[in-house]
């Protein structure tokens, strides 16, 4: 059998292309901002994770340019060998201070962070328990580990306890959950998770990719939001969202971070973050520290947009984050509506299985602190018009 046979048999993308509703790989021709030029036309950007709007901040851009001049374009090696810059150490120290953890290790991407953390911590005789709506990188981290993975129904604490009861007393156990869930925008029930972890002797890891810079004191994330910073054992997060760069991190006790530094294959055998990328993340973090009002502004404009949609009869899932999903349920209507919104000047993300459960397709909209009320009104009017035409409202 030819290993490429599966490639020829995969036809779904071409079917969507032939229908004219293929939604992916639209090309940006401008900066990542609240309004962009995409394929020659102005679009209101409601599909970015640039939560604090820092990708266009002049001081942060300058930090990247300065690092490029000082260090060159890349490190040409892993952190483990020749690829550690003083800049990486400064970023890790500043982030540890901000998150109030003993130590931080940084990875080249957010996806790689979950691969590297989970595969290092979860060993052959350990268990890892995941919320079913966790990010794909968490699942792949579990697969890369030698441990046994169990799953619990989304935010269902009774089901989590059932899974914990399956773990033998002789085995280690790590509970992993998104802090802010990337599709629905809802927040993990962290107090209950922590209580169950204590009861059953498990450790807790929170993926705060969509929590850092968004919720908690000064944007410190989900544990801070609940006042549980001392109760969460591992924070994972990314630089590609609120911090306007690329990369990810693990924050934990120094002994746990040092173990990961010497046992995580995705960390040890990957090239380190390029200098400009690390400098931008550090500058964005310092900007967030100096402007703790930014997460508050983000939530304020997000709530305004939710009210805009609700007033226009559009059903949404209520939450306290900048992620506002509009459920369209089935793939073809989802892609069709997304295309029409795009043509009328609003970019949203079409979200289909496996990113959602079957029958729960949605249009994922997300806000930036820099969105204005006028842009929210304009976008909501267009969304209302298109959804009415498709009898969604």
- Tens of pLDDT, residue by residue over 147-186, are 999 999 999 999 999 999 999 999 999 999 999 999 999 9
Q: Are residues 246 and 266 in the same domain?
A: yes
The pLDDT, as a whole number, for residue 294 is 98
The reply to whether 103 and 244 lie within a common domain is yes
Quick one: three-class SS letters along the chain? CCCCHHHHHCCHHHHHHHHCCCCCCCCECCCCCCEEEECCEEEEECCCCCCCCHHHCHHHHHHHHHHHHHHCCCCCCECCCCCCCHHHHHHHHHHHHHHCCCEEEEECCHHHHHHHHHHHHCCCCCEEEEECCCCHHHHHHHHHCCCEEEEECCCCHHHHHHHHCCCCCCCCEEEEEECECCCCCCECCHHHHHHHHHHHCCEEEEECCCCCCCCCHHHCCHHHHHCCCCCCCEEEEECCCCCCCCCEEEEECHHHHHHHHHHCHHHHCCECCCHHHHHHHHHHHHHHHHCCHHHHHHHHHHHHHHHHHHHCCCCCCCCCCCEEEEEEECHHHHHHHHHHHHHCCEECEEECCCCCCCCCEEEEEECCCCCCHHHHHHHHHHHHHHHHHCCCC
pLDDT(388) > 90: yes
pLDDT given for residue 330 in this prediction: 94
Mean pLDDT value across the chain: 97
Whole-prediction pTM value?
0.96
Residues 248-276: tens digit of each pLDDT: 999 999 999 999 999 999 999 999 999 99
- Per-residue confidence band for 237, with pLDDT thresholds at 50, 70 and 90: very high
Residues 46, 117 within the same domain: no
240, 258, 290: which is the final residue of a domain? Answer: 290
290, 322, 350: which is the final residue of a domain? 290
pLDDT the model gives residue 172:
98
pLDDT digits (tens, 9 = 90+) for 17-50: 999 999 999 999 999 999 999 999 999 999 999 9
Instruction: Give the residue numbers annotated as catalytic, written as ranges.
Output: 182, 210, 241
Same domain, 244 and 109: yes
Identify whether residues 266 and 342 lie together within a single domain: no
Query: Are residues 163 and 27 located together in one domain of the fold?
Result: no
- Interval 219-228: pLDDT, tens: 999 999 999 9
Phi, psi of 294 (to 5 degrees): -60, -50
What is the pLDDT confidence band of residue 318, given thresholds at 50, 70 and 90?
confident
Asked whether residue 63 falls in the same domain as residue 204, the answer is yes
Q: Count the Cβ atoms, other than its own, within 10 Å of residue 372.
A: 12
Residues 87 and 229 in one domain: yes
Structural domains in the chain (count): 2
Domain range spanning residue 22? 5-56+292-389
pLDDT of residue 317: 82
The pLDDT score that the predictor gives to residue 319 is 85
The CATH code of the domain that includes 125 is 3.40.640.10
Average pLDDT over residues 335-357: 95
pLDDT at position 375, please? 98
Q: Are residues 14 and 150 in the same domain?
A: no
Task: Tell me whether the omega of the peptide bond preceding residue 354 falls within 30 degrees of 0, making it cis.
Answer: yes
Using an 8 Å Cβ cutoff, are 226 and 198 in contact?
Answer: no
> How many Å apart are CA 270 and CA 273, to the nearest integer?
9
Residues 27, 116, single domain; the answer is no
Structure tokens at 12: 């779904």
Query: Which pLDDT band holds residue 374 (cuts at 50, 70, 90)?
Result: very high
Q: Are 83 and 230 in the same domain?
A: yes
Q: Which of 228, 256, 290 is the last residue of a domain?
A: 290
Torsion of CA 117, 123, 124, 129, to 10 degrees: -70
Question: Looking at residues 342-349, what average pLDDT do you find?
Answer: 98
Within this chain, do residues 211 and 222 fall inside the same structural domain, yes or no? yes
CATH of the domain at 379: 3.90.1150.10
Does the pLDDT value for residue 356 go beyond 90?
no
Helices 190-200 and 157-164 sit at what angle, rounded to 10 degrees? 20
pLDDT of residue 389 exceeding 90: yes
Average pLDDT of the residues in 307-316: 95
């Amino acid at each position: 059998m030819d290993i490429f046979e599966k490639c020829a048999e995969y036809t779904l993308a071409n079917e969507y292309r032939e229908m004219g509703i293929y939604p992916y790989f639209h090309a940006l021709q401008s900066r990542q901002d609240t309004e962009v030029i995409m394929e020659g036309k102005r679009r209101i950007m409601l599909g970015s994770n640039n939560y604090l709007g820092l990708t266009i901040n002049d001081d942060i851009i300058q930090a990247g340019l300065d690092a490029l001049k000082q260090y060159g374009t890349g490190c040409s090696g892993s952190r483990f060998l020749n690829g550690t810059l003083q800049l990486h150490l400064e970023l890790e120290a500043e982030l540890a201070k901000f998150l109030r953890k003993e130590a931080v290790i940084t990875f080249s991407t957010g996806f790689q962070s979950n691969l590297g953390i989970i595969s290092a911590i979860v060993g052959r005789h350990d268990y890892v328990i995941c919320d079913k709506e966790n990010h794909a990188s968490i699942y792949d981290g579990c697969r890369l580990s030698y441990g046994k993975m169990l799953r619990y129904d989304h935010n269902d604490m009774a089901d989590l306890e059932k899974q914990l009861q399956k773990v033998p007393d002789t085995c280690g156990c790590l509970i992993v959950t998104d802090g802010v869930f990337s599709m629905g925008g809802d927040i993990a029930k962290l107090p209950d998770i922590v209580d169950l972890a204590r009861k059953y002797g498990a450790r807790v890891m929170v993926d705060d990719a969509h929590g850092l810079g968004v919720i908690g004191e000064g944007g410190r994330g989900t544990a801070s939001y609940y006042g549980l910073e001392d109760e969460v054992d591992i924070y994972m997060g990314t630089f590609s969202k609120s911090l306007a760069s690329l990369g990810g991190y693990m924050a934990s006790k120094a002994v746990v971070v040092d173990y990961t530094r010497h046992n995580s294959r995705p960390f040890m055998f990957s090239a380190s973050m390029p200098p400009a990328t690390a400098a931008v993340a550090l500058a964005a973090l310092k900007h967030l520290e100096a402007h703790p009002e930014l997460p508050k502004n983000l939530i304020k404009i997000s709530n305004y947009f939710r009210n805009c949609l609700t007033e226009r009869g559009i059903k949404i899932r209520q939450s306290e984050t900048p992620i506002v999903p509009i459920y369209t349920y089935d793939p073809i209507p989802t892609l069709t509506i997304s295309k029409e919104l795009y043509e009328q000047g609003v970019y949203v993300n079409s979200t289909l299985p496996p990113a959602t459960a079957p029958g729960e397709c949605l249009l994922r909209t997300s806000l930036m602190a820099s969105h204005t009320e006028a842009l929210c009104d304009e976008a909501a009017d267009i969304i209302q018009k298109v959804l009415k035409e498709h009898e969604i409202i």
